[in-house]
Amino acid sequence: MSLPSLETTPIPGLVVVRLDRRDDDRGFFKENWQREKMLAIGLPDFGPVQNNVSFNTDRGVTRGIHTEPWDKFVSLATGRVFAAWVDMREGDTFGTTFTLEMDTSVAVFVPRGVGNSYQTLEDATAYTYLVNEHWRPGIAYPALALDDPTVAIDWPIPLSEAIVSEKDRGNPALDPATAIAPKRTLVLGAGGQLGRALAAAFPGADTRTRAELDVSDAEAVAAFPWHEYAVVLNAAAYTAVDAAETPEGRRAAWAANASAPATLAGLSRQHAFTLVHYSTEYVFDGTAPLAPGHSEDEPLSPLGVYAQSKAAGDLAVGLAPRHYVLRTSWVIGEGRNFVRTMQALAEKGVSPSVVEDQVGRLTFTEELVRATRHLLETGAAFGTYHVSNGGPAMSWREVAQAVFARSGRRAEDVSGTTTTAYAEGVFAQGNPFAPRPLNSAMSLDKLRATGFEPEDAMAALDRYLGRPGI
């Protein structure tokens, strides 16, 4: 069967779908919902979980304007209706109406927050609809009077002659005070440098530190209202790379980096929120060619415990229907980090020795936040993306030299060493040391294909060093 066609309406997100109905002397056949074809014409992948049928015996049955907290895909199995919708969401289109006569060849996608009603034009009309949340008792949702003069729906059968329930005869008039707010954004791990940057960039978001919401705590997870969120940004992680090599660190790393993301992936499936999870180039062993660098489809090859736990988290999040895994490298934000350490050493007159056989690109938190917003706002395809600042790959020593040069010191004041030599010094002091990928450079081609152009890392470094350290 051919693709259905899609028509937009004055209500944002409310779209009319003209189905390919095949008629013959026996009756008709149609693909009422075919996910692949619906996505191809531009419908959202809204993840229906329940199918309801409202059978109406008589012509003139008029169902109230109800605004349930879920998306709907409505259609008819038999009969005809005059359907009406009212935008009940906060914003410029609050109160906007759209009406349409529907038969069995027409379907409509109704986004959450849009009031939905209809009047039957034939006896024995079966109105059917898919929803993406299970019905739960006790949930209050706004309703609107069928004869509200503000929206002025021109019902073909006068309401005085229509069959209307007593409940729907008592619905209130349109009131901006009852406008439905959009589902919110939640930032997990809000105490870290990335979490703080995300909280600043999403000012209306709810934020939780690990202490406030530990996703590895089953009781805390069960009590949290996940259904209230459209997007969950998971910046929570165990990042003590070397400490992860200890027995205590191993357990903590796997709990935060693997088990918690797996829990979030399950919650994403259950509550239909988009899960954005932040990962690392450590999931690779660093043996890929420097150019173009590690690609998103490269097989995972983690070296140490931290890297292995992050790789497990990537795989778990990939099972969520609506997910972005953003792998990044050498993150620099507000607080203690490599750039601030080098800046302090330069100002104190210290001449450090820095590893020169690890190569990659800096990722400033503002760039990671910018990429996050871009993917969400453009509706980029779900999946894994590599994100860092642009420009040539550099060694840690070259980054330190760039900081020194911008701090009034000579680049030559930073000497070089190898990862092996550095590790020997750490081991000599009785401390753990995790293996590192020598090549941390990642290909940014997939990200660029979405229309995002990474900012050069040295331009971002100049701006960063122009701000006072924290």
Name the packing angle between helices 396-406 and 338-348 (round to 10°). 50
Q: Are 389 and 361 in contact (CB under 8 A)?
A: yes
For 202, the token pair is: 């999403």
Known catalytic membership, residue 271 = no
Q: Which three-class secondary structure state does DSSP give residue 143?
A: strand
Cα–Cα distance, 140 to 84 (Å, whole number): 21
Helix intervals (H) in 170-280? 193-201, 218-223, 247-254, 260-271
Cα→Cα distances 175→118, 224, 362, Å: 21, 30, 50
For 31, the token pair is: 């693909």
Residue 353, phi then psi, degrees to nearest 5: -110, 125
Exposed/middle/buried for residue 456 (C-beta within 10 Å: 0-12, 13-18, 19+): middle
- Cis amide prior to 292 (ω within 30 degrees): yes
Q: Which residue has the tokens 């895909």?
A: 73
Known catalytic membership, residue 118 = no
Which of 66, 141, 227, 374 is catalytic? The answer is: 66
Cα–Cα distance, 212 to 113 (Å, whole number): 30
* Burial 229-260, CB ≥16 within 10 A → b, else e: bbbbbbbbbbbebbbbbeeebbebbbbbbbbb
CA atoms within 13 A on the CB side of 124: 1
Handedness of CA 272, 446, 448, 290 (dihedral sign): positive
Cα–Cα distance, 183 to 194 (Å, whole number): 22
State the DSSP string of 207-234.
EE-TTT--TT-HHHHHHS-GGGEEEEEE
Q: Are 353 and 392 in contact (CB under 8 A)?
A: no
For 112, the token pair is: 């959450």
Q: Which residue has the tokens 């895994």?
A: 325
Name the packing angle between helices 260-271 and 305-317 (round to 10°). 10
For 424, the token pair is: 């020997």
Cα–Cα distance, 15 to 43 (Å, whole number): 8
Which of 127, 129, 282, 422 is catalytic? The answer is: 129
Tell me which residues are annotated as active site.
66, 129
